[in-house]
Homo-oligomer: A and B are copies of this chain.
């Protein structure tokens, strides 16, 4: 009995006449209806590609449908380089390694005459390529190991603040793909959990993944070097060692997915033959599955490359996509915008 007047006094809406109430209800309903029909993928042009992605999401989320998948099993995996951000003219992490060689050079006078460091210091990409996989590995070990995990993350964060893409002259953090970020949000809004499964180094990528993609560290899988737990002046640290632990590329991607997630994804997104087995593993199981290849065919807005590119080579994937039911996204035709810009 006491409550009625108290409630009314505190709630200004309670003083409105009945007609106004109805109008508010209707406005609420309209707002809701609009939110439900708003395009979740505005940077994707309307057409078969977008329609297929939306149809897949509707199929696995529609309760009672034959393709319904419970939320706990709605796992989507995304490659990073070339799928969520650019990878030309070189992987961003390689640019970091080269900058790091320059920063460390004063402590290593021998690098001036020793390959692959000499090539890195001189920006001689030809000599760097000639150093091959072994040379690249040497470069990675010299620039990615020898510090603690916290020190390394700080070095990467500091680098990202000033580093600029060599051709686009923009911070690397502005070069994520807007349509793909919308896709991440769209999937999450539909109960998916999203993992990044990258051939790149996991501790490099974790520095960016949460800010740029909303993907927390525990949902980033990547290549790694070994680490060791030890005490430094009585305080525990995790030290990064110059030894490969895991290469999360090609057949390593399903292995990494199984190791970290322990479940098979229902959707996989990649752009190169390094993602082939991840798409194969994802789409080989029964039920509704989505395999997507982002095809870099937009030389004007981004970079055009595929079968013959040393970075992000896409050859077998293009040959087999149709037969395997994988969706090939044309960046040129399917994307209204390319870059997301500043985070």
Chain A residues engaging chain B, CB cutoff 8 angstroms: 1-4, 18-19, 22, 25, 72, 149, 202-203, 206, 216-218, 220, 224, 227-230, 235-236, 238, 245, 251-252, 254-255, 258-263, 277, 280-281, 284
Contact = CB atoms under 8 A, between A and B. Distances in A.
Given A229-B281, A277-B229, A149 B258 contact: yes
B284 A236 contact: yes
A235 B229 CA distance: 40
Contacts of A262: 202-203, 206, 216-218, 220
Given A227-B258, A251-B228, A236 B149 contact: no
A1 B19 contact: yes
13 contacts: A1-B18, A202-B259, A217-B263, A218-B218, A227-B258, A228-B251, A229-B251, A229-B254, A229-B277, A230-B251, A236-B254, A236-B277, A238-B254
B236 A280 contact: yes
A229 B252 CA distance: 7
Contacts of A202: 259, 262
> Which of A2, A3, A202, A236: most chain B Cβ within 10 A?
A236
Nearest to A234: B284
A259 B246 CA distance: 11
Contacts of A236: 254, 277, 280-281, 284
A325 to B, nearest CB: 15
